Each structure stands twice: as C-alpha cells, then as structure tokens.
Amino acid sequence: MSINKQAVLEQLETVHLPDGKNIVALDMVRAITIDGNDVRFVIEVSAEDGPRMEPVRAAAQQVVEGIEGIEKVSVILTSPSAPKAPPSLKIGGHPKPAADSQSIPGVDRILAIASGKGGVGKSTVSSNLAVALAKQGRRVGLLDADIHGPSQPRMMGVSKRPASPDGKTIIPLQAHGVTMMSLGLMLDEDQAVIWRGPMLMGALQQMLGQVEWGELDVLIIDLPPGTGDVQLTLAQKSKVTGAVIVSTPQDVALLDARKAMNMFNQLKTPIVGMIENMSHYVCPDCGKEAHIFGHGGARAEAEKQNLPFLGEIPLDLEIRLAGDGGTPIAATDNPIADAYAKIAKGLIDADMA
Ligand SMILES: Nc1ncnc2c1ncn2[C@@H]1O[C@H](COP(=O)(O)OP(=O)(O)OP(=O)(O)O)[C@@H](O)[C@H]1O
C-alpha cells in the first residue's frame, strides 16, 4: 500500500487534546514528509504547553506507526521560539493554506535557481542572471529565498529596509534594473536566522504574496542549497515555471545536484537546464587555463539526464569582488559579463525569461 499524507492526517485526527479537539483540527501538525516507508512530521505546541505534550506526541507516533506499510515514524514537538518579526511587515508566522499552487499576479514566469550543495555559486548566478536579463530588456524580479543565509542585499548592493505603507504589502527595492526583495533586508546583516521550518515557510509565502512585484517577465528565485522545506513549499505552493540547477564541475557537487534534480522531478517542476559555475580558471598572469574543480562535469551530467546545458561561468576573482562590492559583474562591461549574457539570451530564446 502506498502511504500518502491524507492517510497520515486521518490517523492524526484520532489524537485529541484534553479539551476534546484533535491535533489536525487545531492545526498543530506541520511538515509531514513521507520518504519511502518513513514518515516525519512536527507537532507545534506553545512554549508553556511543551513539556505536557509528550503523551500527545507519543500517541501521534503510535497511530501513524499503525498505518500498514510504515516502517519508521519520527515526530518532533516544537514551539515557536523565533525572533520577533519586523513589526510593521509581519514577516514570519504560519504559512496560510493555499488551495492550489498559485501564480503571482503580474508575474509571467518564475525561475527557481537551485543547487544541491552550498557554496557552488547559486546566489552569484542568480544576481548576475537577473541583471543580464534586465540588460536584455526583460522586466526582472529577484527574490532571495535563501532564507538561512540571504546574500542578495550584499550582492546587489542594497541595504534599505523596504517600505510597507499599509503594514501589509511590501514595496520591493530596485537595483541594477532589477526589482528585488530579500528577507535579509528585514534583518540586521549579522543577525543569524534561526527560524524553524514553519516560520520560514510563512515568511516565504509572504514574500511571494505580499511583495508588490508589479509587472514582471520573470521572477528569479534564489533558493537555499539542498532539498529542504523552502524548495518543497515553493514548488508546491507557487507555479514555478522551471528550475535551473547550478553546479560546480566536480563529482561531489554533481552528486548533490542530482538529488536536487530528483526532488524537482518528484515535485513535477520542470528543470530548465544546468549551469556549470567555476568551470575553469584563466591565470591572469600567464593566461593558462586551469580546471580547479574539474571541467565539463555539469555538461556531461546534463547530457546524461537529457537536460539542456545552459552554459558555463569561469572561476574568476573579478566575479567574487563584484559580488562582494554590490555590483554584479553582469552589470559592468567586463568581458566576463558575456558568459551571463549568453545564458540569459538562451533563456529568453527558450521563452523561459
Ligand atoms: N564564478 C565564480 N568565480 C569566483 N568566485 C565565485 C564564483 N561564483 C561564486 N563565487 C564566490 O563564491 C562564494 C559563494 O558563492 P555564492 O554565495 O553565490 O554561492 P551559493 O551557492 O549561493 O552559496 P550558499 O550555499 O551559501 O547559498 C562567494 O564568495 C562568491 O563571490
């Protein structure tokens, strides 16, 4: 028997609190994840109730363990302990149930930039691609959904707190011809983000739903690395046109990229193609090309997976310096900008941006 979320919820409806209401009706069950024969979920309780809720947790585990075919059940009790949201903007909070996957009014396409592994340059690709597309006349938005480590404010050179005239809608900022928003703009730069899953999901949904994006040809979303809740929420709750996978050429990054691709396949999010970042290094002194992380791995992987290969970006100090300085290299006339321009053109020609 295949295990589905509905079957899990039905069992959980039989777990009641002392006041008689069940934990599903009370909206306490979060983040149900079914992984083969294993099931994981979270029960959210108030901080005061926490210690008294262990029997409820145990009961929830027991009833789900009773479902035929389930081998392992992990249930975690959590209570909100997130830092306070910026008062006027109400970022955070629980995700509101979305009936179906939603499109964003005025936004024609959503492109998610993803990677399996951290640090492969996904955020750098996102900002440069956004700028390169804007330079080619597209109306582009950039949403920094890398909520654990938002880096777009630094890379795009913005630090102003977005306005919210009515305390509900959020007015995004403009930088290098791109309309952008990042949770980083709501936080102090060195504030660690320790929000738990459900809070993050709420924040993400708010960023998608409450930001006044205006009319956009494409909204680029810089995802966190890996295959976590943000990716799942995004793919399930919004109409993502496609995902672009960024990888460095070496095996370990490709291994993780494969996991990310599997996730998108399972979520039925089309994969637009792969980009190889840090593809090669040209020594500025002698002009010799070196392949520090190997070369061509992402292209070969794309071929293997029958996916388009969108292009390669060299490893270059100028790219890092430009990103750190708040002006993506794609916004300059440095010849390296051509690499991003080429990928942007490919996306436009494929009607993906
Ligand atoms: N092609 C490149 N050449 C040189 N430096 C690069 C290149 N791409 C990215 N970098 C640098 O590598 C570092 C990591 O890049 P970036 O933050 O874009 O990666 P990421 O995959 O988004 O990371 P995270 O996992 O933190 O989200 C940054 O300092 C960035 O400037």
Give the position, in ligand 1's atom list, of the atom nearest the Cα of 224.
27
pLDDT above 90 coverage of the chain, percent: 44
Range of the domain at 208: 110-349
Separation of CA 329 and ligand 1 centre (Å): 13
Same domain? For 66 and 166 the reply is no
Beta bridge partners of 277: 313
Structure tokens at 334: 């440095």
| Res 93: pLDDT | 46
Residue for token pair 């890379």: 155
Is residue 98 a part of any domain in this protein? no
- Distance separating alpha carbons of residues 69 and 37, to the nearest angstrom: 6
Separation of CA 70 and ligand 1 centre (Å): 40
Is residue 54 a part of any domain in this protein? yes
CATH code for the domain in which residue 207 is found: 3.40.50.300
- Distance separating alpha carbons of residues 250 and 300, to the nearest angstrom: 11
Number of domains into which the chain is organized = 2
Q: Please state the φ and ψ torsions of residue 236, each to the nearest 5 degrees.
A: -85, -35
Closest-CA residue, ligand 1 atom 11, reads 320
Is 96 one of the annotated binding-site residues? no
Same domain? For 164 and 286 the reply is yes
| Res 99: pLDDT | 45
What DSSP line would sit under 68-90, residue for residue?
TT--EEEEEEE---PPPPPTTTT
pLDDT above 70 coverage of the chain, percent: 88
The identity of residue 305, as a single letter, is Q
pLDDT tens, position by position, 165-213: 887 888 999 999 999 999 888 766 555 555 556 666 777 777 888 899 9
Is residue 63 a part of any domain in this protein? yes
ipTM above threshold 0.85? yes
Please tell me which residue, 228 or 348, carries the higher pLDDT value: 348
Please tell me which residue, 226 or 15, carries the higher pLDDT value: 15
Is residue 226 a part of any domain in this protein? yes
Q: Is the pLDDT of residue 82 over 80?
A: no
| Res 91: pLDDT | 46
Is residue 28 a part of any domain in this protein? yes
Last residue of a domain, one of 28, 55, 78: 78
Residues sharing a CB contact under 8 Å with residue 9, sequence separation 6 or more, in sequence order:
24, 29, 32
Same domain? For 74 and 220 the reply is no
| Res 83: pLDDT | 37
User: pLDDT category, 78, cuts 50, 70, 90?
Assistant: confident
Is residue 103 a part of any domain in this protein? no
Q: How many other CB atoms sit within 10 Å of the CB of residue 309?
A: 18
| Res 135: pLDDT | 97
Give the position, in ligand 1's atom list, of the atom nearest the Cα of 320.
31
| Res 178: pLDDT | 97
Residues sharing a CB contact under 8 Å with residue 278, sequence separation 6 or more, in sequence order:
120, 121, 248, 249, 292, 293, 313, 314, 315
Structure tokens at 131: 């700028």
Is residue 260 a part of any domain in this protein? yes
Same domain? For 323 and 229 the reply is yes
Q: Is the pLDDT of residue 84 over 60?
A: no
Structure tokens at 167: 């305390």
Q: Is the pLDDT of residue 98 over 70?
A: no
User: pLDDT category, 39, cuts 50, 70, 90?
Assistant: confident
pLDDT tens, position by position, 331-341: 999 999 999 99
Same domain? For 168 and 46 the reply is no
| Res 173: pLDDT | 95
Separation of CA 275 and ligand 1 centre (Å): 13
Segment 219-239 shows an average pLDDT of: 85
Same domain? For 235 and 314 the reply is yes
Distances, alpha carbon 330 to alpha carbons 90, 132, 214, 268, 281, in Å: 34, 6, 23, 31, 18
| Res 80: pLDDT | 60
- Distance separating alpha carbons of residues 126 and 119, to the nearest angstrom: 13
Last residue of a domain, one of 60, 78, 96: 78
CATH code for the domain in which residue 16 is found: 3.30.300.130
In a mutational test of the pocket of ligand 1, which residue from 115, 117, 123 has the highest number of ligand atoms less than 8 Å from its CB? 123
Closest-CA residue, ligand 1 atom 29, reads 320
From the number of C-beta atoms within 10 Å of its C-beta (0-12, 13-18, 19+), residue 291 rates as middle
Structure tokens at 68: 């035929």
Give the position, in ligand 1's atom list, of the atom nearest the Cα of 277.
1
Is residue 87 a part of any domain in this protein? no
Separation of CA 131 and ligand 1 centre (Å): 16
Lowest mean pLDDT across 8-12, 112-116, 184-188, 192-196: 192-196
Dihedral angle over CA of 184, 186, 188, 189, nearest 10: 20
Is 116 one of the annotated binding-site residues? yes
| Res 212: pLDDT | 92
